[in-house]
Amino acid sequence: MVDLLKAVVLGLIQGLTEFLPISSSAHLRIYPELFGWGDPGAAFTAVIQIGTELAVLVFFRKDIWRIGSMWVRSLAKPELRGHLDARMGWFIIIGSLPIVVLGILLKDVIERDFRNLWLIATTLVVLGLVLGIADRVSRDNLTIKNISLRDAVLMGLAQALALVPGVSRSGATISMGRFLGYEREAATRYAFLLAIPAVVGAGLFELKEIPNGDNSYGWGPTVTATIVSFVVGYAAIAWLLRYISTRSYTPFVIYRVALGLATMALLAAGVLVS
């Protein structure tokens, strides 16, 4: 019962932070330590992210169906290959390759060295400042219709930085999108779509680790956390897309920097142990 209650809390944290540019993996590493629960493990973190990605699949189901069906049809009909949705299918596939390849090659490092709290606190601060700068200097004149292969590759490379907890998958992709001149809504929407193959793939890849691998919980709490993250994540997507239509990312930048500095202070004081 205690593990189930912990799972509900961790599912809430995952659902609230996955789509905001503040790094869900950092929160799932820092807050359990503050609560005295220890590190839930990389496998637990990867699997419950499937819940939030299912929220993306449901929320963007019409976009995903349109892109996927046009991409499949374009394989057989060359005249459709110039269509935006057909190109978007390729852009998502190509943009996902960096994080997939590096995730497989660096699996042991990610699950061990990258979960160091000093590193996570530093990336929260540094990538938070990067997001703030990108949001401020962006030309803000490109929409999703303007995306090119070059931009898809660059945003895919940015997304790969999120293999380090604290970077934020959406935050890194959005930052690159803003540097390239994309509007906030366009950069955010593409970041959500681009994350689907990587996060679902990582979660499925880590499923085998749940019973006896890098996971402080078992199947029951892990499934519970995944369900909670789905429900909360769906609400978070809807809220964020409404929010960024009229406001900047500044509150998220401030929060990231504050959390990173607070984590460093707690580590220095011995309250947290990396």
Model pLDDT for residues 4-46, shown as the tens digit of each residue: 888 899 999 999 998 899 998 899 889 988 988 877 877 777 7
DSSP-based three-state secondary structure for 46? helix
Model pLDDT for residues 134-143, shown as the tens digit of each residue: 999 999 999 9
**Proportion of the chain above pLDDT 90, given as a percent:** 68
Check residues 209 and 90 and name the one with the higher pLDDT: 90
Model confidence at 150, in pLDDT bands (50, 70, 90)? very high
What is the H or E stretch that residue 38 is in? none
pLDDT recorded at residue 72 = 96
pLDDT recorded at residue 76 = 94
Model confidence at 206, in pLDDT bands (50, 70, 90)? low
What average pLDDT does the segment 141-153 reach? 95
| Residue with token string 């401020």 | 136
Model confidence at 215, in pLDDT bands (50, 70, 90)? low
Residue spans of beta strands (DSSP E) within the chain: none
Model pLDDT for residues 70-106, shown as the tens digit of each residue: 999 999 999 999 999 999 999 999 999 999 899 889 8
pLDDT above 90 (res 149): yes
pLDDT recorded at residue 218 = 73
The answer to whether 205 touches 218, Cβ cutoff 8 Å, is no
CB atoms under 10 Å from CB of 153, counted, come to: 15
pLDDT recorded at residue 37 = 86
Nearest C-alpha neighbor of 184 from the set 229, 138, 233, 230:
138
pLDDT recorded at residue 49 = 81
DSSP-based three-state secondary structure for 142? strand
Residues, the chain: 274
Model confidence at 212, in pLDDT bands (50, 70, 90)? low
| Residue with token string 């699996």 | 107
pLDDT above 80 (res 66): yes
Sign of CA dihedral 61, 96, 90, 148: positive
Structure tokens at 29: 């590493």
Check residues 130 and 214 and name the one with the higher pLDDT: 130
pLDDT recorded at residue 43 = 73
Check residues 209 and 203 and name the one with the higher pLDDT: 203
